[in-house]
Structure 1
Amino acid sequence: MSNIIVGSAPDSWGVWFPEDPQQTPYTRFLDEVAASGYEWIELGPFGYLPTDPKQLLDELGERGLKLSAGTVFEHLHQDDSWDAVWTQIEDVAKLTAAVGGKHVVVIPEMWRDPATGEVLEDRHLTDEQWLAKTRGMNELGRAMFEKYGVRAQYHPHADSHVDTEENIYRFLENTDGEFVNLCLDTGHVSYCGGDNLAIIRAHPERIGYLHLKQVDEAVRAKVAADDLPFGEAVRLGAMTEPPRGIPEMPPLLDAVADLGIDIFAIVEQDMYPCAPDAPLPIAQRTQRYLGSCGVPAVRFS
C-alpha cells in the first residue's frame, strides 16, 4: 500500500535565499509549519536553517519536525562546473544525512535571473551541453548516494533548461534511474504547459519525490503571452493554493497512490516576497484541503 507523506518547505513561507530581510526568520517558519499540522520539512536554501547538525536536530525535535530532503541547484552543462557543483551538493548532502534525510532535490539553475529577468545564457542547450548535464547528474547521483546515502531527485524548473514535458522526457531517458529520479513538481510542470499525469504514466518507475503546488491559469496565460521571467510571475501570483489552480490534486494523488510506493509530497508554494502573516493561514488551509481529497494514501506523519 502506498503512503504519500505530505510535508511543507521554507518556500511556502517566502524563502528563496539563505539570508534576506524580506524573508520569514527560520524560528518563525519552524513554529508555524508545526502549527499547520505538518511533521516533515525540507532544508530550503543552504544556510537558512542552522547548518550545525546538532543545533538543527534540536530545533526540529523541539517542534516534532523531521527532515525529508535538502535542496541545491546545478549547472552541470557548463564547462568545468563539476567541482563547484559538487562542493554545494556535498554540503547539503552531508547535513541532510546527518539529520536523517534520505533525499536531495537537485534543481537546474535558471537561464535568466528570476529577480531581474536578465538573460544569463541561451535558453536552449546544445546536444553537447545536454550530454554534459545528464552524464554529470549520473555521476552526481552516484557520488551522493555512495558517500552519504541520499538519493538525487531531479526537479524540473521554469526558466531552466529542464522545464517542458519534452525536456523532462529527454532528461529521464538519458539518466540512470538507479541514482537519479524525478522530483515531480506539479506546479512547474503545469506552468510550462506539461501534463503531470502523462509524465507519471510515461515514467512511473522514475517518480521518486513530489512537490505539490498549483498554478493560476490566468497568470500563466499572461506569462506565456508576454514571456515574463519566473520571479515576476511569482509576484503576480502564478503559484496559488489548492484548489484554486491547476493541476487538479485528487486525480494526481490517486495516480501516485496507484504506483504502490511510499513517497514524500512536499507542499512548496512559491511566494517570494510575501507579507509575514500570509503563509500560516495558507499552509493551514492547504493542509486541510489535501487531507480532504479522499485519497487514503495521504499521510501527514
Structure 2
Amino acid sequence: MKNDPIRIGINPISWSNDDLPSLGGETPLSTALSEGKAIGYEGFELGNKFPKDPAALRELMAGYDLDVVSGWYSGRVAGRAATEEIVAVETHLRLLAENGCKVMVYGEVADAIQGEPHPLYKRPRFRSADAWKRYGDNLTEFAKFTLSRGVRLAYHHHMGAYVESPDDVDQLMAHTGDEVGLLFDSGHTYFGGGDPLTVLNKHIARICHVHCKDVRPGVVRMARNRHWTFLESVLNGAFTVPGDGCIDFAGIVDRLKAHGYKGWLVVEAEQDPSVAPSYEFAEKGYNTLRSLLDGVPVREVA
C-alpha cells in the first residue's frame, strides 16, 4: 500500500530476461505490467523494454497505476574515475529521479563475468587493501553525486563480480561512506556463500533496497561443484521466488520491520518461464511476502 513503510514490487525478469532474451523475450511488457498489477504488486523495477524517456515512462506506468521502483545501472567505477561515471549515469539517473525513485540499483560490471561463458570462480577480485580503498573512495564520490540528485546508490552484490561473497560485502561497507547504500539480495547472499539473515543483521544500517529471491540449494551446490557459469546456474534453476526455496524470509521480514526499514521488497528471481510460469511464480512470491508483512498464514495458490 502506498502509505505503508514497506512496499512490494517486482522485477520484469519474471516474465523476460534481459541477459538471456531467449527466456521470455517474446513476452510483451504489457503482459508483465498487467499481470503484476493483477497480482497486487505496487511497482516495477525497470528492464530493457521500458521507455527511456522520463515523461513516456511516467505515462506508461500511470496507465497501470504502478510506481517505478528503481532501475539497474551497469557501472564501471572499478575501471574509471568517478567523474567519468557521473557523465555516463546522467541520462539514467534523470529517468529515475523524474519518476520518483529514491534508490538506483548499482551493478559493478567492470571485469564481471556474470554474462560471460566463464565459471564463477574466475570472477574478478580486489586483492589488496589499497585496491579496496581506491575502489571505495571512487564509489563514494560517485554515490555523493547521485545522492545530490535525490537518488541513493544501492550497491548490488552479485555473482561473478568484484563484490560477491559476504567478505566482499564487509570490505565494501568498510571502505565506503554512508552515501553508498547496500542492496541486500537474499539469493545472491546465499549463492555467494553467506547466511542471508546473518548478512542482513550485520549491515542492516546501510541497507536501502531489498531483492527477494529464493534458492534451490541442491542446484546451487551443483553450480559450484560443476563450475557452472552464472547463466548456466540460472538456466538450471538456482533461483526461484520467495516461498519456493530454503531461505528464511520470515526472519528477514521480521528483522527489517523491527529495524524500521522503509522501502521496497522486490521479487527478482531469474528463471525460465517455460519451466516456472511467470504469473504462477510471481503470485507465489507476492503472496509469501504479503502474508509475512501482514502476519497472516501464506495463502496457497490454487
Q: TM-score under structure 1 normalisation?
A: 0.87
Q: Given that residues 23 and 273 in structure 2 are in contact (C-alpha distance below 8 angstroms), is that contact kept between their aligned partners in structure 1?
A: no
> Which amino acid is 1:212 matched to?
C
Q: Is the 8 A contact 1:117 1:229 kept in 2?
A: yes
Q: Secondary structure at the match of 2:69?
A: strand
Alignment-derived partner of residue 283 in structure 2: 284
Q: 1:91 to 1:40 in 2, by over 3 A?
A: same
- 2:56 is aligned to 55
**Structure 2 partner of 1:266:** 266
2:300 maps to: none
1:34 aligns with 2:37: yes
Partner of 1:3: 5
Give percent identity, aligned residues only. 24
Q: Which has the higher mean CA deviation after the structures are superposed, 149-158 or 23-32?
A: 23-32
Specify the alignment match of 1:214 in structure 2. 214
Q: From the superposition, tell whether residues 21 and 237 of structure 1 become closer, same or farther in structure 2 (CA, over 3 Å).
A: closer
- Paired residue total: 291
Matches within 5 A, 1:103-142: 103-109=103-109, 111-117=112-118, 123-127=124-128, 128-142=130-144
Shift, 1:202, TM fit: 1.8
Query: 1:41·1:67 contact (CA, 8 Å) conserved in 2?
Result: yes
Alignment partners' CA distance in 2, 1:225 and 1:18: 23
- Structure 1: segments with no counterpart, 5+ residues: none
**Contact in 2 for aligned 1:114/1:232 (Cα 8 Å):** no
Cα drift, residue 191 of structure 1 = 0.9
Which stretch shifts more, 259-268 or 166-175? 259-268
**SS of aligned partner of 1:203:** helix
Deviation at 1:84, TM superposition (A): 5.5
Distance verdict in 2 for CA 1:18–1:215, change over 3 Å: closer
Is contact 1:74-1:107 (8 Å) kept? yes
- The alpha-carbon deviation at position 18 of structure 1 amounts to 11
Taking the aligned partners of 1:265 and 1:195, their CA distance within structure 2 comes to: 18
The residue that corresponds to 1:155 in the other structure is 156
- For 1:43 and 1:16, how far apart are their aligned partners in 2? 10
Q: CA deviation at 1:123?
A: 2.6
Flag the 1:42–1:142 CA change in 2: closer, same or farther, 3 A: same
- Supply the distance in 1 between the matched residues of 2:78 and 2:121 (Cα, whole angstroms): 14
CA gap 1:86/1:296 in 2 versus in 1, 3 angstroms: farther
Q: CA 1:188–1:68 in 2, change beyond 3 Å: closer, same or farther?
A: same
For residue 17 of structure 2, the aligned residue among 15, 18, 24 is 15
Q: How does 1:187-206 map to 2 (within 5 A)?
A: 187-206=187-206
* Cα distance, 1:248 vs structure 2: 1.3
Alpha-carbon separation, structure 1, partners of 2:58 and 2:235: 33
1:138-167 deviation digits (Å, cap 9, x = unpaired):
011111121x21111111001111011111
User: Whole-Å Cα distance in 1 between the matches of residues 4 and 57 of structure 2?
Assistant: 29
1:222 & 1:234 partners in 2: Cα distance?
12
Q: Give the SS at the match of 2:8.
A: strand
CA distance in 1, matches of 2:32, 2:77: 32
Report the Cα offset of residue 22 of structure 1: 4.7
**Whole-Å separation in 2 of the counterparts to 1:256 and 1:106:** 21
Q: Which runs of 5+ in 2 are unaligned?
A: 297-302
User: Is the 2:54–2:94 Cα contact (8 Å) retained in structure 1?
Assistant: no
3-state SS of paired residue (2:164)? coil
Instruction: Tell me the distance in 2 between the aligned counterparts of 1:29 and 1:2.
Output: 24
How far the C-alpha of 1:58 sits from its partner, in A, is: 1.2
Is the Cα contact below 8 Å between 1:104 and 1:150 reproduced in 2?
Answer: yes
The answer to whether the Cα contact below 8 Å between 1:2 and 1:258 also exists between their aligned partners in 2 is: no
CA distance in 2: counterparts of 1:120 and 1:82, whole angstroms: 28
Which protein, 1 or 2, shows the higher relative CO under an 8 Å CA cutoff with sep ≥ 6?
1
Q: Which amino acid aligns with 2:11?
A: A
- Distance in 2, matches of 1:136 and 1:294, equals 37
